[in-house]
A and B are shown apart, each in its own frame.
Chain A
């Protein structure tokens, strides 16, 4: 009898753990049926799930997304016109896999707000694909329905469709001070403010980019813009 008591107690304890875990745990992550690997990297996704390292592998996918977006699309032998060169500098290329890659980051880690904002901003404001941006935002909202930043960007996309740059800048402005705000979105806000003649606000955003971003391309551009503003703005409104 005593001999059976130990395994019985062990089973009871193990079952108690399983019962509590089963009742309590609700996964915040998308089911496996929603995970669609857009490029070579299925093994990475397996590791992400097997080691419970979703955030880490979402980071890797995000770095790959930035590398993909930062790579010129020219094929061997193809030449670049001056118009295409201008588009490349503003990252306004074709990038057909961008949506799939950006969505995949969220499939692995739906809590990666910055990646969602970066993907949406790039699609809507740089590549002129608001429908895809909206699709990405809707996916992000499915797992973070209370994320106000997504709602603001959604409104900004609506205003951009209506070609109202002042309203777009207004919708983005509350996000700019948030730590999750990608520098690309700040750049967009500064550009729009400059476009509508709100130079003081634009200068403030460029100053913020120059002092907080670690992306040297954006920092150098912000410094150039600030130099231009220093000649236009009265002394009290300068941020340099």
Chain B
């Protein structure tokens, strides 16, 4: 068991360092900083609500930038490792496929966490520069974004094992992300319609993860704290995707 953890840690660290060295990672950081700075314009337009606009714009942008990188990374990493034959080298050693996949997923999540932390720091510095303090519930908003990223990244890993290209994985995961924010509306529609439509909508509610559960940045004040249910659901959905991915990867010939 200890050996499995050690192997998983090694793969995770390697995957994390590979992401950090990736040129795309630097570009995203530069882009995020430039775009957050551009939000100053929107802040000026809001006059006395500048702090709120800067906060909302920055948090939304950070999440989207981290999402773009996480999806790009998750959809291409396994395909790239198969193309470069790296995966054959790994599996020629006594590395269980479950540990390899767990390591890749953990590396990707560590990268997302680092991205959010770096962008969050830039954002807070920008707010401080404009004369504002740390917005209430800021850490919860970032935690919620990380939980969302964990759910969607693990799902993208699962999809990448049966989709034909990185693009199709990106599209499927992107649609899933969008649908995940519509679960509340889907629930309302299911309750207000009947017959086959209601049944289909109810099925969708069970299949699609409710990402609004983690959307602390859209809540206000004390209500933005994430409850234990949010952490449990995120862990369950990540575990579900991971186990399904392990099932798929264990049937593949490498």
> Which A residues form the contact surface with B (CB < 8 A)?
3, 6-7, 9-18, 20-25, 27-29, 31-33, 49-56, 59, 62-63, 66, 109, 111-112, 114, 182-183, 213-215
Given A6-B247, A13-B243, A21-B210; A27-B184 close (CB under 8 Å): yes
Number of interface residues of B (CB under 8 A): 57
Interface 0/1 of B161-197, CB less than 8 Å to A: 0000000000000000010011111011100100000
CB-based nearest A residue for B231: A20
Residues B244 and A10 in contact, CB atoms below 8 Å apart: yes
Q: Which of B45, B49, B229, B236 contacts A24 (CB 8 A)?
A: B229
Compute how far the CA of A21 lies from the CA of B46 in the bound complex, rounded to whole angstroms. Answer: 35
Task: Please list 22 pairs of residues, one from A and one from B, whose beta carbons are closer than 8 Å in the complex, sorted by A's number.
Answer: A6-B247, A10-B247, A11-B240, A14-B240, A15-B206, A16-B236, A17-B209, A18-B205, A18-B206, A20-B232, A20-B233, A21-B209, A31-B185, A31-B188, A49-B182, A52-B211, A52-B218, A53-B60, A62-B49, A63-B42, A63-B46, A109-B220
- Does chain A have a CB within 8 A of B127? no
Residues A51 and B205 in contact, CB atoms below 8 Å apart: no
Which of A6, A17, A59 gathers most chain B CB within 10 Å?
A17
Given A6-B243, A20-B229; A62-B46 close (CB under 8 Å): yes
Compute how far the CA of A28 lies from the CA of B221 in the bound complex, rounded to whole angstroms. Answer: 13
Which of B42, B49, B50, B223 gathers most chain A CB within 10 Å?
B49
- Does chain A have a CB within 8 A of B76? no
Residues B233 and A21 in contact, CB atoms below 8 Å apart: yes
Query: Shortest distance in angstroms between B155's beta carbon and chain A's nearest beta carbon?
Result: 10
Compute how far the CA of A10 lies from the CA of B192 in the bound complex, rounded to whole angstroms. Answer: 31
Given contacts A3-B247, A24-B229, A55-B52, 4 further A-B contacts (CB under 8 A): A21-B183, A54-B218, A62-B49, A109-B218
Residues of A within 8 A of B206 (CB): 15, 18, 22
Query: Shortest distance in angstroms between A190's beta carbon and chain B's nearest beta carbon?
Result: 16
Residues of B within 8 A of A20 (CB): 229, 232-233, 236
Compute how far the CA of A7 lies from the CA of B237 in the bound complex, rounded to whole angstroms. Answer: 13
Residues of B within 8 A of A11 (CB): 240
- Does chain A have a CB within 8 A of B4? no
Residues A183 and B219 in contact, CB atoms below 8 Å apart: no
- Does chain A have a CB within 8 A of B83? no
Task: Please report the number of residue pairs spanning A and B whose Cβ atoms sit closer than 8 angstroms.
Answer: 143
User: Which chain B residues numbered 225 to 244 have a C-beta less than 8 Å away from chain A?
Assistant: 227, 229-230, 232-237, 239-244
Given A10-B241, A51-B181, A214-B48; A56-B56 close (CB under 8 Å): yes
Given A56-B57, A59-B46; A28-B219 close (CB under 8 Å): yes
Residues of A within 8 A of B219 (CB): 28, 111
- Does chain A have a CB within 8 A of B104? no
Compute how far the CA of A31 lies from the CA of B192 in the bound complex, rounded to whole angstroms. Answer: 11
CB-based nearest B residue for A181: B48
CB-based nearest B residue for A182: B48
CB-based nearest A residue for B51: A179
Query: Shortest distance in angstroms between B141's beta carbon and chain A's nearest beta carbon?
Result: 10
Q: Which of B60, B188, B246 contacts A56 (CB 8 A)?
A: B60
Compute how far the CA of A28 lies from the CA of B219 in the bound complex, rounded to whole angstroms. Answer: 8
Q: 10 tightest CB-CB pairs across the interface, nearest first?
A: A17-B236, A14-B240, A111-B220, A24-B229, A10-B243, A6-B247, A13-B240, A10-B244, A13-B239, A27-B184
Query: Shortest distance in angstroms between A56's beta carbon and chain B's nearest beta carbon?
Result: 4
CB-based nearest A residue for B214: A52
Compute how far the CA of A28 lies from the CA of B159 in the bound complex, rounded to whole angstroms. Answer: 32
Residues B215 and A52 in contact, CB atoms below 8 Å apart: yes
- Does chain A have a CB within 8 A of B250? yes
CB-based nearest B residue for A216: B47
Residues B47 and A55 in contact, CB atoms below 8 Å apart: no
CB-based nearest B residue for A115: B49
Residues of B within 8 A of A62 (CB): 46, 49
Query: Shortest distance in angstroms between B162's beta carbon and chain A's nearest beta carbon?
Result: 13
Compute how far the CA of A66 lies from the CA of B45 in the bound complex, rounded to whole angstroms. Answer: 9
Residues A55 and B243 in contact, CB atoms below 8 Å apart: no
Residues of A within 8 A of B182 (CB): 49-50
